[in-house]
Amino acid sequence: MRMHNKKFLVGLIGADIQMSKSPALHETEGRRQG
């Protein structure tokens, strides 16, 4: 398998996003994926 060293910055925009659990879930998975 070929590995690539590309990085992406992603974010969520919108009202009430601070109350969402999704950002924490995505950040945790992102750390696991490297």
Question: How many distinct helices (H) and strands (E) make up the chain?
Answer: 1, 0
**Is-above-0.85 flag for pTM?**
no
What letter represents residue 9's amino acid?
L
The predicted structure's pLDDT at residue 11: 78
Q: How far is CA 17 from CA 8, 14, 29, in A?
A: 20, 6, 18
28 or 21, which is more confident?
28
Query: Tokens 């990085």 belong to which residue?
Result: 7
17 or 31, which is more confident?
31
Mean pLDDT for the stretch of residues 19-31: 79
Helix, strand, coil shares of the chain, percent, nearest 5, are: 45, 0, 55
The predicted structure's pLDDT at residue 1: 67
pLDDT at 6 over 80: yes
